[in-house]
Amino acid sequence: MYVVEFASAGVKDDAMNDGIEELASHLGTAERIVFITGAGMSTESGIPDFRSATGLYATGLNEDMFSIDSFTQDPARYYRHGRDFHRCLFQAKPNAGHQAIAALATDMGKDVVVVTQNIDTLHRDAGSPVVHALHGSIETCSCMRCGESTHVSLVERAIRNGIAPRHSACGGIYRPDIVLFGELLPVDVLAEAEQAIGAADLLVVVGTSLVVHPAAALPDSRGDGCILVMLNRTATHLDPEADLVLRGTVGDVLFRAVSGSPSAGHRATGHANEPPALRSGSVSA
Ligand SMILES: [Zn+2]
């Protein structure tokens, strides 16, 4: 195992550069790449995680508020208390890491599957073609009375104002199509994720400490020859099994690794070191 640890983006450190180079080399060689991403993927887009010191729970929200029991009992309360969180999700933009992952598929022709625990739509917004959202996403809402599904943009105004949106045709309240506490993960999505991981020759785990099951066991689906890379701010139980462990700023590391991977630029028309889908302005120097 090779652990590379560094404090912040932009630090010119040999070990960090070597680690990023090694990741770039894996990305260049691999044909089928799966990324498993968690909250740490989106914190650089301004979306708070749940459990960290600056996370949602520190602001007075709690697990109960995001439970199916609590939601069913009092949906209005859920929307009232979740207003700021929802606004944050609606406003967030993909960061350099989301864009780097998307560019691997769209600009470098890699077979890339994203398996995410995040309910934001940032991987899709960045352009990643295949995203399995284990916990659903805020992209759609379903009427709790008749089951009708609607795009969130049609009810976004109510949600932004902390008001429970209603289906005009039947009067039922819309729920976000996310997996609330107390609900099971969608089995079809989980099966597709496992299948993709089983076929991968490179698995990169980004921004998740993999403590929540069943997502925590997903890397076990990987095949014998699959390279495992961990990119997190903190240590995880999988680090000892990994071929490469990087600890640092997710967006910066992925951006630099993708920019420097051997296949970067072979279909690019812009700057030689920068895949065209990446906006250099979004990276803090
Ligand atoms: Zn309805």
Could you tell me the CATH number of the domain that includes residue 149?
Answer: 3.30.1600.10
- Does one domain contain both 85 and 140? yes
3-state DSSP assignment of residue 76: helix
Could you tell me the CATH number of the domain that includes residue 270?
Answer: 3.40.50.1220
- Does one domain contain both 145 and 237? no
Contact criterion met (CB below 8 Å) for 34 and 196: yes
Please identify, among 178, 208, 234, the residue that sits at the C-terminal boundary of a domain. 178
Q: How far is the CA of 148 from the centre of ligand 1 (A)?
A: 5
- Does one domain contain both 4 and 104? yes
Which of 88-97, 150-159, 266-275 is predicted with the least confidence, judged by mean pLDDT? 266-275
pLDDT higher than 90, residue 279:
no
pLDDT higher than 90, residue 276:
no
Report in angstroms the alpha-carbon separations of 190 from 5, 116, 187, 193.
31, 11, 5, 5
For 17-69, the pLDDT digits (tens) are: 889 999 999 999 999 999 999 999 999 999 987 666 666 666 666 777 889 99
Maximum separation of any 2 CA atoms in the chain, in Å: 62
Alpha-carbon distance of 250 to 147, in angstroms, equals 38
Which runs of consecutive H residues, i.e. helices, occur in the chain?
A: 14-29, 39-42, 68-73, 75-81, 83-91, 96-106, 122-126, 156-160, 187-199, 250-260
Instruction: Give the up-direction half-sphere exposure of residue 34: CA atoms within 13 A in the CB hemisphere.
Output: 23
- Does one domain contain both 81 and 106? no
- Does one domain contain both 130 and 198? yes
| Domain count along the chain | 2
DSSP notation for 13-56: -HHHHHHHHHHHHHHHH-SEEEEEE-HHHHGGGT---SSSTTSG
Task: Tell me the whole-structure pTM to 2 decimals.
Answer: 0.86
- Does one domain contain both 161 and 255? no
Element of type H or E holding 6: none
What is the pLDDT at residue 91?
94
Hey, which residues are catalytic here? 135
Residues in the chain: 285
Contact criterion met (CB below 8 Å) for 244 and 2: yes
Which of 2-6, 72-76, 81-85, 255-259 is predicted with the least confidence, judged by mean pLDDT? 2-6
- Does one domain contain both 157 and 273? no
Cα three-residue angle 45-131-124, rounded to 5 degrees: 45
For 207-259, the pLDDT digits (tens) are: 998 888 888 899 999 999 999 999 998 899 999 999 999 998 899 999 999 99
Q: How far is the CA of 166 from the centre of ligand 1 (A)?
A: 8
- Does one domain contain both 166 and 284? no
Q: How far is the CA of 176 from the centre of ligand 1 (A)?
A: 13
- Does one domain contain both 195 and 154? no
Residue 160 belongs to domain spanning = 48-91+136-178
Please identify, among 178, 197, 231, the residue that sits at the C-terminal boundary of a domain. 178
- Does one domain contain both 211 and 278? yes
225-231: long-range pairs with CB below 8 Å, 24+: 225/201, 226/197, 226/200, 226/201, 226/202, 227/26, 227/30, 227/201, 227/202, 227/203, 228/203, 229/23, 229/26, 229/202, 229/203, 229/204, 229/205, 230/205, 231/23, 231/204, 231/205, 231/206, 231/207
- Does one domain contain both 165 and 204? no
Q: How far is the CA of 92 from the centre of ligand 1 (A)?
A: 29
Report in angstroms the alpha-carbon separations of 214 from 27, 52, 186, 191.
26, 21, 11, 11
- Does one domain contain both 143 and 131? no
Sequence-distant (6+) residues with CB within 8 A of 34 are 112, 113, 114, 115, 196, 197, 200, 202, 203, 204
Please identify, among 152, 178, 204, the residue that sits at the C-terminal boundary of a domain. 178
Q: How far is the CA of 153 from the centre of ligand 1 (A)?
A: 17
